[in-house]
Homo-oligomer: A and B are copies of this chain.
Amino acid sequence: MSESSSSVSRKSGLPPGSLVHVGEVLATETRVSVVDYTTERSREFVARSIDEITRYRDTGSVIWVNVEGLINVELIEAIGQQFDIHPLVLEDILNTQQRPKFEQYDEYLFLVFKVIYPADDGVSVNYEQVSILILDDYVFTFKEKQDDIFEPIKARLRNHKGRYRSLGADYLAYAILDTVVDLYLSLQDYMDELIESVEEDLLASPGTETLATIQRIRRELIFIRRSSAPLRELLNGILRSDSLLIGDGTLIYFRDVHDHVLRVTDAFDTYRDMVTGLLDIYNSTISNRMNEIMKVLTVFASIFIPLTFITGIYGMNFAYMPELGWKWSYPLLWVGFILIPVILLVYFKRKKWL
């Protein structure tokens, strides 16, 4: 949450095209891990210089360069120069407040989007921007921080299981995107559980902390929808693209990711209605409770206030109050003290207050 409200405009005032990391710094160093694989073999290593990255060009293997942490601007600039990437693309990679988008260039494709998944603590959500550059035999991924969200892909490349290693850079890009959309699906699970727990709270005993949770869900949803909705457009862009960088055989896989994205965004759209529903229930419950409280007050007050008035009468000290001297006054009054409440209680019962 705090991320989104941080310095959106930190770069304002700089000339366009200046390469500066814009956004919260989520990693203090830049780690570049490379996977270089062909159908036959697969190799993983951590690159320390730009040479280690460019060395494998045109060797017929697919090279996946995963850059984690965006603090090393020089490195990203060097990659840009070596692979002839447009300065505005490099700028977009470094600015972590991008709107998800797909851009097609002659020599490469550029994708940028948010990865959102529930944090391990179970109460918060992790945000991270990921950019992908798809070249002929290179795939670059740029991430804001070091984590293991791409670990499953690496594992599969390592074990040469599945179609992974036999297919090209486009299939690797698909696998990355698919992994990311799966994280959105787990976010959907997380949201489902959160909303369900709030619903249970509402039926049991809604309090101010329930209200705070509803508000938190609403805010999270606003950010999640803002990040996920443009994914539809992004995938549409890929599906309609005529780039040779994506093979015909791989397009069907992107279509599958597109279906998943539609499912996720459909779900997030309906969550909005659900949260409104939660708030409605909360408010109705509060009103109901107020009614209960008022009923109790009214029943107590309506019964005892008239009785107290009666006692008041015979507490007066007038010299001439004949009833005071009668023998049956007091017992008769007790009859009234019992009858009046009974009558009123029957009346309230009829009004369905009790």
A344: shortest Cβ distance to chain B, in Å? 9
B-chain residues with CB within 8 Å of residue A298 when the two chains form the complex? 293-294, 296-297, 300
Mark each residue of chain A from 274 to 297: 1 if its CB lies under 8 Å from any CB of chain B, else 0. 100101111111111111111111
Q: How far is the CA of A205 from the CA of B279 in the complex (A)?
A: 20
A285: contacting residue among B211, B256, B274, B304, CB under 8 A: B211
A236: shortest Cβ distance to chain B, in Å? 14
B-chain residues with CB within 8 Å of residue A281 when the two chains form the complex? 211, 215
Interface of chain A residues 206 through 260 with chain B (CB within 8 A): 208, 211-212, 215, 218-219, 222, 225-226, 230, 252-253, 256, 259
A2: shortest Cβ distance to chain B, in Å? 9
Q: Is A307 an interface residue, CB under 8 A from the partner?
A: yes
B-chain residues with CB within 8 Å of residue A219 when the two chains form the complex? 274, 277
Mark each residue of chain A from 67 to 84: 1 if its CB lies under 8 Å from any CB of chain B, else 0. 000000000000000000
A59: shortest Cβ distance to chain B, in Å? 25
Q: Cβ of A305 and Cβ of B301 under 8 Å apart?
A: yes
Q: Cβ of B12 and Cβ of A185 under 8 Å apart?
A: yes
B-chain residues with CB within 8 Å of residue A5 when the two chains form the complex? 189, 192-193, 196
A222: contacting residue among B218, B274, B285, B291, CB under 8 A: B274
Q: Cβ of B306 and Cβ of A300 under 8 Å apart?
A: yes
Q: Cβ of A8 and Cβ of B312 under 8 Å apart?
A: no
B-chain residues with CB within 8 Å of residue A199 when the two chains form the complex? 215
A26: shortest Cβ distance to chain B, in Å? 19
Q: Is A54 an interface residue, CB under 8 A from the partner?
A: no
Q: Cβ of A312 and Cβ of B308 under 8 Å apart?
A: yes
Q: Is A57 an interface residue, CB under 8 A from the partner?
A: no
Binds B, one of A28-36, A129-137, A317-325: A317-325
Given contacts A9-B185, A294-B294, contact A288 B286 (CB under 8 A): yes
B-chain residues with CB within 8 Å of residue A327 when the two chains form the complex? 319-320
Given contacts A16-B175, A309-B307, contact A8 B189 (CB under 8 A): yes
Q: Cβ of A101 and Cβ of B259 under 8 Å apart?
A: yes
The residue on B at minimum CB distance from A192 is B5
Q: How far is the CA of A164 from the CA of B262 in the complex (A)?
A: 36
Q: Is A47 an interface residue, CB under 8 A from the partner?
A: no
Q: How far is the CA of A4 from the CA of B191 in the complex (A)?
A: 12
A189: shortest Cβ distance to chain B, in Å? 5
B-chain residues with CB within 8 Å of residue A215 when the two chains form the complex? 199, 277, 281
Residue positions of A touching B, CB distance < 8 A = 4-5, 7-9, 11-18, 86, 88, 91-92, 97-99, 101, 152, 156, 161-164, 174-175, 178, 182-183, 185-186, 188-189, 192-193, 196, 199, 203, 205, 208, 211-212, 215, 218-219, 222, 225-226, 230, 252-253, 256, 259, 262-263, 266-267, 270, 272-274, 277, 279-298, 300-302, 304-321, 323-327, 329-330, 333, 337, 351-353
